[in-house]
């Protein structure tokens, strides 16, 4: 064995099971069982963050990372996984770890690692406490701006055999309720560590091998994270005190209008409603909520509506000490509700000492309509817009907003919201993206801007119309930038720019916009989900999983999030993990991504029978509101039947799918999902000419040059059609292209990876082609 030494800078992580020694004495069989479970769990997580396991002795791991950030992210992922695992587990079967991290010089020799980086990390770990993470100041400096968490500084700590007292920090994990702070007086390495002989050996080896080593003090480009701005606020949902629970929309509307007025003050930081809506009207843990949202103040309120009278109670709270700065009660008629919204917003701006321009003062006092019925319809539509998830919800929002502008044709804000909603429905296909829908979006925003040229919401809606309906990204970007000074706290602007720059293939810029939007809207699950999709499109699957974990911290057991996690597992070839995630899900037909991924899982596993039964049940009572989704599900049914060997049934399913989908394509001739599904359906029916023509039509409708994320999906359709239709050269060329670029497929699946090529039956005709074998054996390129 070579004695060659390699010296490098590395992040070192130590983990140690809490109470393992005592458990071994009480119940050695259970101790061994939990030890093996803990090892299996951690060894699945280490590679996700490029961690290299150096050694394990007993219940402890020594792991090396190339960066402090990856080490910290890995530690958080481990503690999160164990927290989930321990949630419903009896106390005697829980697995709890202490984790310590330090970054410094280390020496690699004969397969082992020595040096102060190792020595210090081993001394830090016992201070973490059960379920905790303790890091050195060198680590904290590098990660404090890169992680959405906070750090508690421990008292200056003297570590055994370390000559200089060290500044140490405890990572505060988001799921902790009352974190216990470990201090040297409470916990010492010697008293709490179960690794005595191993640590002693490491320390002696480090002393012999690393005489003269210094503790690395990294001088990075990171600056200290700015304190939470004093002029910052989150407006929590207002409680509906009306006897009629259907009046909840009105309380939501009052909250939203106050928030909207405040958000137009550039001197304030105002958190978006999509982040605050997850909380109760008057929660108990205000300081923690304020920390998660990044604000110094919270506004709580309640609304009681009775006939034509309204009572609004509000209170402004300083979150750090939970003290009330201001409170008031307003009793008004419905016709005078705007004065309440204006007065509350103005008072809060005064309390926070915000500097107001003349234009901002006008915004705070603005009265959007003189018609109370129109305003009521607008609030109903607004409430539906912000929460809808089904096509019926989209139609309901549209109905209320149309009613608002019918009752008051001069209601510019309602016109702007109608346009924005239609454009969003057009691009998301929440309802059929028809020419009529697109035209209504155009007319509505033109009307809004004619009525009120400087209305920020109308300028934003105009940009979104050009983005979503016309795919004119240059013009859209100009309007988004024009809207910025008018809506300084509106997260939809950087969010829209994130989507726009993503479609143009400017991935780094898109990432920056996503981060900007998340600072204003940190608990917006849709925004976090789209960020995860960007990572997935680039095959940055560990990054995507971290975003999805954030969503699960906000909305545990969210079906779509778990489905996306399963999609990533499929892309990585881990069908067992994907099956474990998908099996408990019970998606409705309208939750097409989850249902489609369950079907794709059965296809990849080549076990079709249970899913065939499920889709037959769904299609026995088709929901007309789902539009073309029924036909797309019939395509999946046909493919499942083919995999099962029932070719006549597959042919019949595909014929029905084609009959159902073709009328929709006549109404939506550029709908890529329809073009792709019909291409694959005709492929299944053996109609090569039609299948190739539809694939090529989709590629022309949205080329890569016009859309870097969705455009390549049509190339995947071509690859599948060519593979099945005896065109191997075209299929291989398309696959070579796809594996080298980021994209999001038209079907509910991940971008193609070598693992998916190895599993997907649609590529079976290429299995003996050496070119395909080379692609399937390769490592996926991360663009």
Q: Which residues share a beta bridge with 62?
A: 14, 55
Q: Above 60 in pLDDT, residue 293?
A: yes
CATH code matching the domain that covers 226-367, chosen among 3.30.70.20, 2.40.30.10, 3.40.50.10070, 2.60.120.10: 3.40.50.10070
Establish whether domains 5-209 and 226-367 are of one fold: no
Average pLDDT over residues 221-227: 40
pLDDT in tens, 447-467: 999 999 999 999 999 999 999
How many Cβ atoms are within 10 Å of 779's Cβ, its own excluded?
A: 9
> Which of these, 50, 13, 8, 9, lies nearest to 171 by C-alpha position?
13
pTM over the 0.75 mark: no
CATH number of the domain located at residue range(s) 5-209 in this protein = 3.30.70.1230
- At 107 the three-state DSSP class reads strand
For residue 704, pLDDT beyond 50: yes
The lowest-confidence range among 154-168, 504-518, 670-684 is: 154-168
DSSP string for residues in 133-175: EEEEHHHHHHHTTTSSSEEEEPPPBPPTT-SS-B-EEEEE-TT
In this predicted structure, what is the pLDDT of residue 164?
Answer: 57
pLDDT for 97 equals 93
User: Does residue 1 surpass a pLDDT of 80?
Assistant: no
Q: How much is the pLDDT for 197?
A: 37
How sure is the predictor about 539, in pLDDT bands with cuts at 50, 70 and 90? very high
Confidence of residue 476 (pLDDT cuts 50, 70, 90): very high
686 vs 84, more confident: 686
Helices (H), 484-523: 492-503, 507-520
Predicted pLDDT of residue 81: 87
Q: Residue 553, Cα to own-chain centre: how many angstroms?
A: 11
CA pair distance 425, 398, nearest whole angstrom: 10
SS (H, E, C) 359-416: HHHHHHHCCCCCCHHHHHHHHHHHHHHCCCCCHHHHHHHHHHHHHHHHHCCCCHHHHH
Predicted pLDDT at 241: 87
Q: How confident is the model at residue 388 (pLDDT cuts 50, 70, 90)?
A: low
Q: In this predicted structure, what is the pLDDT of residue 728?
A: 97
State the residue for tokens 């009480």. Answer: 26
Would you say residue 188 has pLDDT above 60? Answer: no
In the chain, domain spans: 5-209, 226-367
* pLDDT: which is higher, 508 or 278: 508
End-to-end CA distance of the chain: 38
Identify whether the C-beta of residue 561 lies closer than 8 Å to the C-beta of residue 547: no
Using CA atoms of 492, 495, 496, 501 in order, give the dihedral in degrees to the nearest 10. Answer: 160
The more confidently predicted of residues 65 and 187 is: 65
Half-sphere exposure of 531 (CA within 13 A, CB side): 29
E strands, 708-781, are none
- Looking at per-residue confidence, does 391 or 319 come out higher? 319
pLDDT, tens digit (0-9, with 9 covering 90-100), for 628-641 = 889 999 999 999 99
The listed range with the strongest mean pLDDT (19-28, 209-218, 266-275) is 266-275
Query: Per-residue pLDDT for 93 more than 60?
Result: yes
Whole-number pLDDT of residue 505? 94
Task: Name the most confidently modeled range: 233-237, 326-330, 565-569, 626-630.
Answer: 565-569
Whether pLDDT at 379 is above 50: yes
**120: confidence class by pLDDT, cuts 50, 70, 90:** confident
Structure confidence at residue 3 (pLDDT): 54
> Would you say residue 580 has pLDDT above 70?
yes
> With bands split at pLDDT 50, 70 and 90, how would you rate the model's confidence at 660?
very high
Average pLDDT on 241-252 reads 81
pLDDT at 301 over 80: yes
- Residue 506 burial by Cβ neighbours in a 10 Å radius (0-12, 13-18, 19+): middle
Buried b (16+ CB within 10 A) or exposed e, 405-428: bebbeebbbbbbbbbbbbbbbbbe
User: How deeply is 399 buried, as exposed, middle or buried, from its count of CB atoms within 10 A (0-12, 13-18, 19+)?
Assistant: middle
Position 29 pLDDT exceeds 90: no
Neighbouring residues of 127: CB distance < 8 A, sequence distance ≥ 6:
98, 100, 134, 154, 157, 168, 170, 182, 183, 184, 187, 189
Task: Concatenate the DSSP letters of all residues of 18-82 into one string.
Answer: TTHHHHHHH-HHHHHHHHHHHHHHHHHHGGGGT-EEEEEETTEEEEEESSHHHHHHHHHHHHHHH
C-alpha to C-alpha distance for 634 and 627, rounded to whole angstroms: 13
Percent of the chain scored above 90 by pLDDT?
49
CB distance 750 to 568 below 8 Å: yes
Query: pLDDT higher for 324 or 698?
Result: 698
pLDDT at 4: 66
Position 308 scores a pLDDT of 81
- Give the Å distances, CA to CA, from 174 to 87, 151, 366, 531, 655: 15, 11, 39, 20, 51
pLDDT per position as a tens digit, 710-746: 999 999 999 999 999 999 999 999 999 999 999 999 8
Q: How far apart are CA 46 and CA 44, in angstroms?
A: 6
Structure-block tokens of residue 766: 């290429």
CA distance 755 to 500: 30
SS3 track for 619-672: HHCCCHHHCCHHHHHHHHHHHHHHHCCCHHHHHHHHHHHHHHHHHHHHHCCCCH
Run of H or E including 418? helix 412-428
Given a cut of 80, is residue 182 above it in pLDDT? no
Question: CB–CB of 589/595 below 8 Å?
Answer: yes
Helix (H) or strand (E) holding 100: strand 97-109
pLDDT value at residue 126 = 85
Least confident of 57-66, 529-538, 680-689: 57-66
- pLDDT bracket for residue 208 (50, 70, 90): very low
pLDDT at position 215 is 27
Asked whether residue 317 carries a pLDDT value surpassing 80, the answer given is yes
| Higher per-residue pLDDT: 662 or 281 | 662
Q: Which residues of 576-603 are buried (b: 16+ CB within 10 A; e: fewer)?
A: ebbbebbeebebebebbbbbbbbbbbbb
Q: What is the DSSP letter of 765?
A: G
Pairing state between β 232-235 and 297-306 = parallel
d(CA 181, CA 187): 10
Q: For the chain, how big is the Rg over CA atoms in Å?
A: 29
Query: Who's near 137: CB < 8 A, 6+ residues apart?
Result: 166, 167, 168, 169
CA 298 to chain centre: 25
Question: What local confidence, expressed as pLDDT, does residue 410 receive?
Answer: 97
**Average pLDDT over every residue of 36-40:** 90
Lowest pLDDT segment from 426-435, 472-481, 497-506: 426-435
Lowest mean pLDDT, pick from 215-229, 381-395, 643-657: 215-229
Q: Among 14-28, 203-217, 291-305, 706-720, whose mean pLDDT is lowest?
A: 203-217
Strands 297-306 and 239-240: parallel
CA 17/CA 31 separation, integer angstroms: 10
Contact (Cβ atoms closer than 8 angstroms) between residue 126 and residue 16: yes
Mean pLDDT of 384-391: 70
Q: 237-246, 258-267, 626-635 — which is least confidently predicted?
A: 237-246
- Mean pLDDT for all residues in the chain: 85
| Length reported for the chain | 783
Which residue pairs, CB below 8 angstroms and at least 24 apart, start in 361-365?
A: 363/261, 363/264, 363/265, 364/261, 364/264, 364/265
Q: How far apart are CA 554 and CA 279, in angstroms?
A: 10
| Nearest-angstrom CA–CA distance, 215 and 233 | 41
Nearest-CA neighbor of 507 among 480, 468, 534?
Answer: 534
Residue 705: CB atoms within 10 Å: 9
Burial class of 214 by CB neighbour count within 10 A (0 to 12, 13 to 18, 19+): exposed
Least-confidence region, from 113-127, 393-407, 514-528, 667-681: 113-127
Residue 673: closest CA among 496, 440, 438, 432? 432
């Amino acid at each position: 064995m070579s004695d060659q030494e390699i010296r490098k800078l590395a992040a070192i992580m130590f983990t140690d099971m809490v109470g393992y020694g005592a458990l071994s004495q009480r119940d050695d069989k259970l101790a061994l069982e939990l030890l093996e479970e803990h090892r299996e769990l951690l060894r699945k997580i280490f590679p996700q963050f490029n961690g290299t396991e150096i050694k394990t002795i007993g219940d402890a791991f020594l792991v090396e990372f190339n960066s402090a950030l990856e080490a910290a992210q890995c530690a958080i992922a481990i503690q999160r996984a164990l927290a989930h695992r321990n949630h419903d587990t009896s106390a005697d079967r829980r697995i709890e770890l202490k984790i310590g991290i330090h970054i410094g010089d280390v020496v690699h020799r004969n397969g082992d690692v020595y040096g102060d980086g190792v020595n210090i990390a081993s001394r830090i770990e016992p201070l973490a406490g059960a379920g905790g993470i303790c890091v050195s100041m060198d680590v904290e400096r590098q990660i404090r701006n890169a992680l959405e968490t906070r750090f508690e500084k421990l008292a200056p700590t003297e570590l055994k055999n370390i000559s200089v007292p060290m500044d140490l920090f405890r990572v505060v994990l988001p799921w902790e309720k009352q974190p216990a702070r470990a201090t040297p007086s409470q916990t010492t390495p010697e008293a709490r560590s179960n690794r005595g002989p191993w640590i002693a050996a490491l320390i002696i080896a480090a002393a012999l091998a690393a005489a003269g080593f210094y503790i690395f003090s990294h001088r990075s480009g990171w600056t200290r994270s700015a304190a939470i701005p004093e002029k910052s606020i989150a407006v929590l949902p207002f409680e509906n005190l009306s006897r009629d629970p259907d009046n909840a929309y009105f309380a939501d509307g009052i909250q939203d209008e106050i928030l909207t007025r405040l958000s137009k003050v550039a001197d304030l930081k105002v958190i978006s409603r999509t982040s605050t809506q997850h909380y109760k009207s008057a929660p108990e843990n205000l300081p923690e909520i304020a920390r998660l949202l990044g604000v110094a103040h919270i506004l709580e309120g309640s609304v009681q509506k009775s006939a034509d009278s309204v009572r609004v109670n509000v209170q402004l709270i300083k979150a750090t000490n939970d003290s009330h700065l201001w409170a008031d009660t307003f009793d008004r008629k419905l016709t005078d509700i705007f004065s309440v919204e204006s007065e509350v917003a103005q008072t809060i701006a005064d309390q926070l000492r915000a500097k107001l321009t003349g234009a901002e003062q006008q915004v705070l006092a603005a009265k959007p309509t003189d018609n109370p019925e129109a305003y009521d319809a607008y609030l109903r539509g607004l409430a539906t817009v912000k929460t809808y998830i089904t096509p019926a919800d989209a139609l309901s929002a549209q109905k209320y907003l149309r009613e608002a502008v019918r009752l008051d044709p001069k209601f510019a804000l309602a016109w702007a919201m109608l346009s924005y909603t239609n454009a969003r429905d057009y691009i998301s296909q929440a309802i059929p993206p028809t020419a009529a829908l697109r035209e209504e979006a155009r007319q509505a925003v033109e009307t809004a801007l004619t009525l009120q040229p400087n209305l920020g919401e109308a300028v934003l809606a105009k940009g979104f119309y050009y983005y979503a309906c016309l795919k004119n990204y240059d013009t859209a970007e100009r309007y988004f930038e024009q809207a910025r000074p008018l809506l300084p706290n509106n997260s939809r602007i950087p969010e829209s720019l994130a989507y726009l720059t993503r479609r143009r293939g400017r991935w780094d810029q898109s990432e920056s916009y996503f981060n900007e939007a998340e600072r204003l809207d940190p608990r917006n699950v849709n925004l976090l989900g789209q960020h995860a999709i960007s990572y997935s499109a680039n095959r940055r699957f560990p990054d995507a999983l971290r975003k999805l974990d954030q969503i699960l911290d906000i909305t545990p057991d969210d079906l779509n999030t778990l489905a996306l996690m399963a999609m990533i597992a499929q892309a990585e070839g881990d069908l067992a993990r994907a099956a474990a995630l998908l099996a408990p899900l019970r998606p409705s037909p309208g939750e097409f991504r989850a249902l489609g991924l369950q079907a794709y899982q059965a296809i990849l596993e080549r076990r079709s029978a249970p899913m065939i039964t499920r889709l037959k049940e769904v299609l026995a009572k088709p929901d007309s509101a789902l539009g073309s989704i029924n036909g797309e599900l019939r395509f999946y049914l046909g493919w499942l039947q083919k995999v099962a060997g029932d070719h006549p049934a597959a042919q019949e399913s595909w014929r029905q799918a084609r009959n159902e989908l073709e009328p929709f394509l006549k109404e939506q001739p550029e709908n890529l999902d329809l073009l792709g599904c019909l291409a694959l359906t005709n492929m299944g029916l053996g109609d090569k000419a039609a299948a190739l023509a539809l694939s090529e039509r989709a590629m022309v409708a949205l080329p890569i040059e016009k859309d870097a994320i969705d455009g390549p999906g049509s190339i995947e359709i071509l690859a599948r059609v060519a593979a099945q239709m005896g065109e191997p050269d075209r299929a291989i060329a398309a696959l070579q292209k796809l594996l080298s670029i980021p994209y999001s497929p038209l079907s509910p699946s991940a971008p193609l990876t070598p693992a998916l090529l190895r599993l997907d039956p649609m590529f079976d005709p290429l299995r003996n082609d050496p070119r395909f074998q080379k692609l399937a054996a390769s490592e996926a390129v991360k663009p």
